[in-house]
Chain A
Amino acid sequence: MLDIQDIVTAYGKIEALKGVSLAAAEGRITCLLGPNGAGKTTLMYSIAGVLKPRRGTIKLAGADITGQSPASIVARGLALVPENRLVFPQMSVAENLEAGAYQRRDSAEVAADIERMYARFPRLKERHTQLAGTLSGGEQQMLAVARALMSRPRILLMDEPSLGLAPLIVEEIFRIVGELNKDGVTIFLVEQNVHMALKVAHHFYLMEQGRVTFSGEPGKLAEDEVIQRAYLGTSRKTG
């Protein structure tokens, strides 16, 4: 579904991604783990078109989307749940969902989808007139996921959905990730919560300092080894 070859993305002279290659298979949950500053969020923004890679290619379902605008990438069926959720704080929950369906023209179907989101996330229904900025962190995360789903994506990118949330809510989020995947959505997930990520992932990658350093299925590497490298990186372990 998503095929990334040798991506280089830089901020000025500093290369945050130094040639990253990875793939997310259709119908699967692929997970990217790694310490802070490894370049995970940069990769997510590069895929979604917010940042323009300097080199390399990104293919979505076979079509080259490298360097395209975020809007045309959304149109091709990719949605991002960004780091820190980035809901529209001064807009109501319902308006956030409408904004998620911005590119769609089928307003009757959009309304039906909003009802489906309320069924899946009952808390959002309770608060549908409330401003998104007044929601709790967990509720904002639900909203960010629901907003992304409103574009009816074929693949959903999630950047650290568990960040700063209480354990019970993290469980809830991962339960939803599993459910969405069962409904046929391909998922590419960036996480710091290694334990939860390895529980749901079909395949995972480790990323350190702008490079992919490991690729495999959960169980191929002992969890504490993954944790070690995902939090601290190999360099510090060996050095």
Chain B
Amino acid sequence: MTAVDLAQNTLDGLMVGASYALLAVGFTLIFGVMRRLNLAYGPTIMAGVYLGTAAFISLGAPTLVVLVVVIIGAALVGLYVERLCFRPFGEGARAASMVASFALWMQLEEAATHLLPQHMNPFPPLLATQPLEIGPLLLRADHLVMLAATLLIAGAVTYLLARTKLGLAIRAVIDQPRAAAIVGIHVERVMMLTFVLASAIGGVAGFLIAATDGQVTHMIGMWATTKGLVAMMLGGLGSVKGAIAGGLLLGILEAHAQWFLGPQVRDMVAWGLLFVLLAFWPGGLMGAKALDRTMAVGRRV
């Protein structure tokens, strides 16, 4: 083990972590306004990516068009999930809501295999250039794009939440939904918009992941749900900053664990850290200050 290895791992982890961070941001937004887990979040992304892949394979759509198809596809599927799994359920039916989202997960997986029956499908690469050399370190250009996109989207979401009227409404719904209704905010509309926005962000994440891999399988659905969930929980629920931190941390941790301990232990380390954090420090990375709030939010699931 050398300093170069450590630095290279950290760098690689940071890049992969960027995609986790994006997934966690989407998850956090949905969880914030709904207070319920959307298990179909990953499969929603998968559906968008599959639609984009189909456009690429059968119509030869250029990369930019594929990106647009993926984003719009994920947003529309997200709307479908919201309509069927979240809108109709009241406060008392959180478990039912979650299980309904699982049912749609199964549905989307099967629909995806009908759309593209091959297990593995080609996806247009983002940038096919040689890796950049920075001293002894290697850096893939498409990874750099992924990191930049993550930071850009995180900045945009932060701006939306802090500075716009919709952002004010979203925060009000997250903070105190009944009071939000009382002051005249259309709570259901805000929930729907947030859901669609989060699904579109997930679409961007899915596109970037598939494009850096150059291929896609339907496993991306389950993968996105679990990675996004772990990253969100690591960061502590309910904050964009926490979601970014959780995603990057998960990426770096996994990169080191993979290098030193192998791919199986890599996954175990991530789950182990999550378990220990939840059992002994449920506030997540944002620390004990956020604990009361997040516990109050999380308890309602």
Measured between beta carbons, the chain A residues less than 8 angstroms from B181 are: 49-50, 70-71
Residues of chain B from 166 to 191 with CB closer than 8 A to chain A in the complex: 168-169, 171-172, 174-176, 178-186
Question: Residue B87 at the A interface, CB < 8 A?
Answer: no
**A5 proximity list for chain B (CB < 8 A):** none
B183 touching A102 by the CB < 8 A rule? yes
Give the distance to chain B from A74, nearest Cβ to Cβ, in Å: 3
Does A233 count as interface, using CB distance less than 8 angstroms?
no
Q: Report the minimal beta-carbon distance from B181 to chain A, rounded to whole angstroms.
A: 4
> C-beta contact mask, A18-59 vs B, less than 8 Å → 1, else 0?
000000000000000000000000000000111000000000
Question: Which listed segment binds B: A91-99, A199-207, A222-230?
Answer: A91-99
A151 touches B183 (CB 8 A): yes
A100 at the interface (CB under 8 A from B): yes
A221 contacts partner chain B, Cβ-Cβ < 8 Å: no
Instruction: Give complex CA distance A188, B259 in Å.
Output: 68
Interface centre among B171, B182, B186 (most CB of A within 10 A): B182
Question: Which of B165, B174, B178, B293 is within 8 Å of A102, CB to CB?
Answer: B165
Query: Quick one: CB contact mask for A83-111 with B, threshold 8 Å, 1 for yes?
Result: 00011111100010011101100000000
In the complex, number of A-B residue pairs with CB atoms less than 8 Å apart: 67
Q: Give the chain B neighbours of A74 by CB distance below 8 A.
A: 182-184
- Contact indicator B179/A82 (Cβ below 8 Å): yes
Interface size class of A (residues with CB under 8 A): 20 to 34
Given A50-B181, A99-B185, decide whether A86 and B168 contact each other with a Cβ distance below 8 A: no
Check if A151 sits within 8 Å of B184, measured CB to CB: yes
A75–B168 Cα gap in the complex (Å)?
Answer: 18
Q: In the complex, which residues of chain B have a beta carbon less than 8 angstroms from the beta carbon of A69?
A: 186
| A230 CB to nearest B CB, Å | 25
- A71-B185, A100-B183 given; A90·B168 CB < 8 A: no
A147 close to B184 (CB less than 8 A):
no
Establish whether residues B172 and A82, one from each chain, have CB atoms under 8 Å apart when the complex forms. no
Which B residues lie within 8 Å of A75 (CB)?
Answer: 184
Interface residues on B, range: 10 to 19
List the A residue with the shortest CB-CB distance to B172.
Answer: A99
**A55-69 vs B, Cβ < 8 Å mask (1 yes, 0 no):** 000000000000001
Least Cβ–Cβ distance between A132 and chain B, in angstroms: 9
- Complex CA gap A90/B290 in Å reads 11
Return the CB mask of B180-205 against A: 1 if under 8 Å, else 0.
Answer: 11111110000000000000000000
The reply to whether B182 and A90 form a contact with Cβ atoms under 8 Å apart is no
Shortest CB–CB separation between residue A128 and chain B, in angstroms? 15
Flag if B186 contacts A71 (CB, 8 Å).
Answer: yes
CB-nearest residue of chain B to A89: B175
CA distance A49 to B176 in the complex (A): 17
In the complex, which residues of chain A have a beta carbon less than 8 angstroms from the beta carbon of B174?
Answer: 90
- CB-defined contacts of B179 to chain A, threshold 8 Å: 82, 86-88
- Given the complex, which residues of B lie within 8 Å of A90, measured CB to CB? 171, 174-175, 293
Contacts of A99 in B (CB 8 A): 168-169, 172, 180, 183, 185
**Distance (Å) between the CB of B10 and the closest chain A CB?**
33
Any chain B CB within 8 A of the CB of A187?
Answer: no
**Nearest chain A residue, comparing its CB with the CB of B162:** A95
| Interface presence of A197 (CB below 8 A) | no
- Complex contact B176–A70 (CB within 8 A): no
Expressed in whole angstroms, the Cα–Cα distance for A74 and B171 within the complex equals 19
A198 CB within 8 Å of chain B: no
How many angstroms between the C-alpha atoms of A74 and B186 in the bound complex?
11
Q: Which residues of B contact A48 (CB under 8 A)?
A: 182
Residues of A within 8 A of B185 (CB): 71, 99, 102
- Chain A residues contacting B178 (CB-CB under 8 Å) are 50, 82, 86
Q: Does A80 contact B (CB under 8 A)?
A: yes
Residues of A within 8 A of B293 (CB): 89-90
18 contacts between A and B (CB under 8 A): A50-B182, A70-B182, A70-B184, A71-B184, A71-B185, A74-B182, A82-B178, A82-B179, A82-B182, A87-B176, A87-B179, A88-B176, A89-B176, A100-B183, A102-B168, A102-B169, A102-B185, A151-B183
Give 7 nearest A-B pairs by CB, closest first. Answer: A74-B184, A86-B179, A88-B175, A70-B181, A103-B184, A71-B184, A90-B175
